[in-house]
């Protein structure tokens, strides 16, 4: 798996600074982090598997008020779907997303509804012990040092050129910025293709 150091080395090569005389790690890393955020956002947009995750089964205690379970996740960007079952587990049932819960919503022995409000994941009131599993879009760890793992297969193809473009743009080098931006855009398609999942072409005679 590629590390941030691969991105920094590639960016310096594009910037003709292989010896890191001008573009040191300290200067380049913030620019590489911005490139990482960009490629992750692109992968979110196309629904890449690397940006999706499924939680463990969480036990939810009875509560006649909405339950905020946001703190159970450290890497959630936004929820996709939730399933619930009894405790102990029997049949899993998909829950329904709601915009909000009415103030007089009556608690039942099923959760039934969930709501995503101001980056908080809320469950409807419930009178019974329940168990849930959450499918969600996740935030990948931001690389912070040269030895940080990127986690996204082939992300370095985009990040190297994009980091060089951001660096060149920061010092007003429009020609290099334009050339490296075009290179990054070209390589982005390769990164998306590598992260689209186990899709196979249809069989043809």
Q: What is the pLDDT of residue 197?
A: 64
Residues in CB range of 152: below 8 A, 6 or more apart: 39, 40, 43, 50, 140, 191, 195
Q: What is the pLDDT of residue 90?
A: 86
Question: Measured between alpha carbons, how far is 113 from 123 in angstroms, rounded to an integer?
Answer: 6
Question: Measured between alpha carbons, how far is 191 from 183 in angstroms, rounded to an integer?
Answer: 13
Cα end-to-end span (Å), the chain? 37
Full pLDDT tens readout for the chain, 205 residues: 799 999 999 999 999 999 999 999 999 999 999 999 999 999 999 989 999 999 999 999 999 999 999 999 999 999 999 999 998 888 999 999 999 999 889 999 999 999 999 999 999 999 999 999 999 999 999 999 999 999 999 999 999 999 999 999 999 999 999 999 999 999 999 999 999 865 544 444 3
Q: Is 126 helix (H, G, I), strand (E, B) or coil?
A: strand
Residue 7 contacts residue 154 (beta carbons within 8 Å)? no
What is 92-118 written as a DSSP string? -EE-EE-S---TTPPPBSS--EEEEET
Q: Whose structure tokens read 């941030």?
A: 4
pTM: 0.84
Structure letter (DSSP) for residue 63: B
Question: Measured between alpha carbons, how far is 193 from 179 in angstroms, rounded to an integer?
Answer: 22
Helix, strand, coil fractions of the chain, as percent rounded to 5:
35, 20, 40
Q: What is the dihedral of CA 175, 181, 187, 188, to 10 degrees?
A: -170
Length of the chain: 205
Strands of the chain, DSSP E: 52-54, 58-60, 67-68, 76-86, 93-94, 96-97, 113-117, 120-123, 130-138
List beta partners, residue 149.
Answer: 3
Q: What is the pLDDT of residue 202?
A: 43
Nearest by Cα to 7 from 135, 133, 187: 187
């Amino acid at each position: 798996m590629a590390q941030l150091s691969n991105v920094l080395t590639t960016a310096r090569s594009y910037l003709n600074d292989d010896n890191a005389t001008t573009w040191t790690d300290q200067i380049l890393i913030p620019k590489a982090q911005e490139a990482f955020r960009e490629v992750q956002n692109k992968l979110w947009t196309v629904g890449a598997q690397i940006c999706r995750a499924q939680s463990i089964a969480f036990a939810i205690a009875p509560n006649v008020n909405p339950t905020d379970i946001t703190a159970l996740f450290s890497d959630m960007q936004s929820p996709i779907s939730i399933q619930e079952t009894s405790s102990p587990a029997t049949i899993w049932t998909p829950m329904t997303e709601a915009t909000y819960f009415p103030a007089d919503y009556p608690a039942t022995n099923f959760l039934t509804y969930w709501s995503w409000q101001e980056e908080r994941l809320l469950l409807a009131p419930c009178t019974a012990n329940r168990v849930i599993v959450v499918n969600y879009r996740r935030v990948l760890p931001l690389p912070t040092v040269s030895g940080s793992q990127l986690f996204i297969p082939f992300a370095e193809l985009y990040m190297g050129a994009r980091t060089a473009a951001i660096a060149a743009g920061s010092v007003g080098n429009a020609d290099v910025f334009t050339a490296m931006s075009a290179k990054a855009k070209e390589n982005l398609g390769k990164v998306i293709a590598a992260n689209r999942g186990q899709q196979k072409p249809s069989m043809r005679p």
